[in-house]
Amino acid sequence: GAYIADTYWGRYKTICWAVVIALVGHVLLTVSAIPSLVANPNRSLACFVIAIVVMGVGTGGFKSNIAPLIAEQTSVGNLRVKTLKNGSQVILDPVMTTSRIFMYFYLMINVGALIGQIGMVYAEQ
């Protein structure tokens, strides 16, 4: 994924296509559980393996590019002082800003994983 982004498409376009590819993999994974396919284990297993490979390609394109894209969104520079509307002054530190962005990014990943695990318990019933 990173090679394609750096050489051909750029990060944003690579991420968009990687998400589409991963979505196709998820659809194939769902299709592999259709009762008519499960009746023939060879077809179901083949669809399952193809789905896992396609999802791996999509995930590889997404994960290798999302963190650098996020890091590029912040300005790199020195500490500076900003005056707010109420008159108070704050120090803007680019390193702390980047750290905070990634903290929230990984927080949301973990919140999504938690919601997914809880949702699977209810979907299983």
Q: Are 38 and 30 in contact (CB under 8 A)?
A: no
Q: What is the pLDDT at residue 47? A: 93
Domain positions in the chain are 1-73, 75-125
**Alpha-carbon gap, residue 125 to 123, rounded angstroms:** 5
Q: Read off the pTM.
A: 0.77
* Mean pLDDT across 6-14: 92
Paired tokens of 122: 């209810």
* Mean pLDDT across 78-99: 88
* Mean pLDDT across 41-66: 94
Q: What is the pLDDT at residue 118? A: 92
* Mean pLDDT across 73-97: 86
* Mean pLDDT across 13-25: 96
Contact residues for 5 (Cβ-Cβ < 8 A; gap 6+): 11, 13, 14, 15, 61, 64, 65
- In percent, how much of the chain has pLDDT > 90? 61
